[in-house]
Amino acid sequence: MTWGTSILWPKAILHIDGDSFFAACEVAKKPHLKGKPVVTGQERGIVSAATYEAKALGVKRGMSLSEVRRLYPEVIFLPSDFETYHLFSRRMYEIVRRYTPAVEEYSIDECFADLGGMQRVNKMSYEKMAERIKYELELELGITFSVGLAPTKVLAKIGSKWQKPSGLTLIPMIEANNFLIKTPIESVWGIGGSTAAFLSKYQIRTAQDFVNLSQGWVEQNLAKPIVEVWRELRGQAVYKVDAAGRQSYQSLSKTKTFTPPSTDFDYVFSQLSRNIENACLKARSWNLVTETIFFFLKTQDFKYHGCEIKLPYPTAVPQEIISAIKPYYQKIFRDNVRYRATGVTLMKLQSGLETQLDLFGAVTKSEGLTKIFSSVDEISARYGRHTVFLGSSLLAKNERKWGSEAKEPAKNNDLFKGGMPKRRLNIPMLGEIG
């Protein structure tokens, strides 16, 4: 189905977005906080999420708590409780699945749903289904959701952002142009800052400007993913609702912002080591390995410094990646520069089953470490992640002592009835600090 058709709903894709989700979950748990400015993230010393009342004061994500406290003393600070947020998230998916089995769990506070073909089963129109789903979510969870209904996923994302909080925006095909003309190109899902900057050089300011470009120009000047966004904006459903969930990864990234920023060589490296451990843990859980990695250090003034490294053989053993990164880290790190975040990406991931043996036994040696980390993974599955961790991650593991604003996560002292804190052995292993 193409742009300009008279059919209202060639497809019916719903996008559901929780409004200020983490903070809203806290208010739902503690109704006496309703209508008050609340932020989460106390355990990290920075704002992780804020209620709309806090945002109205001027609170923004990532602000330090000390700054918020100085500027807005009426704000209420809470530690994050991710286990509860996941419970709310699971409940959100369950409610949407009452109306269709085709639900894509896009993130903890977002999902897509394909309502196509469900009118007869649910005995209501697509518009009514969207309305009922929104109503039941808000009634049963006690938080608001912004919802968009459109023929494609990209248009549905525009709809869910159109009215916040608690908006329901319907974008049938024949009315899509009314929305595109008011949507800045940089606000379109899938259009990054560099692409928006490139398009602005051709006076492409809005989503409507973009869809009016010829197919030839778009295919000649833009990458395939952007061409797909162009097609979605024109009403051609390129992106399917993935109800089966993710089957694998082509890359995995882990980043961490720490507060306060640090000039300490060992501490910053420890944060990077923890990024690598987290990324490798996830890669192993999917039986993936990599030969190509990228890491970066982010400074207090938001500048990035990093490099891409090629490994001699595919691996998901953090020790091997840390050993490869360390010489480059020593070159990149600068004394007296304040760093606020580190990150690593495992690129071009491949199945660990496809790893080939080499002539000099390096892979055989790696296989020994892989077996060790299989045991580490078994311990983690039993006692929790990072029960056993590299010594090079120890400073990051103990990072709470570095931030005067930091607090224990809520999950450790705000348990459900009958709940118990997670048991942690906290055994450092295998690595070195510095």
Active site residues: 110
Which residue is associated with the tokens 């379109």? 188
**SS3 at position 153:** helix
Element (H, E) at 107: strand 103-107
Amino acid type, 370: T
Provide the CA 311 distance to its chain's centre, in angstroms: 27
319 is written with which tokens?
């020790």
Give the residue among 247, 293, 274 at the shortest CA–CA distance from 393. 274
Question: Quick one: CA dihedral 378, 379, 380, 386, positive or negative?
Answer: negative
Residue whose C-alpha is closest to residue 341's, from 317, 310, 308, 305: 305
CA 132 to chain centre: 27
What pairs with residue 254 in β-bridges? 344
Give the number of other CB atoms < 10 A from CB of residue 52.
17
Q: Tokens 């992106």 belong to which residue?
A: 239
For residue 92 the two structure tokens come to 């959100």
Alpha carbon distance 58, 72 (integer Å): 8
Q: In what order do the strands lie in the sheet with 49-50?
A: 49-50, 38-40, 76-78
The answer to whether 48 and 42 are in contact (CB under 8 A) is no
Q: What does the DSSP 8-state code read for residue 361?
A: S
Rg (the chain; Cα; Å): 24
Q: CA-CA distances (angstroms) from residue 207 to 53, 146, 174, 183, 264? A: 30, 21, 16, 6, 45
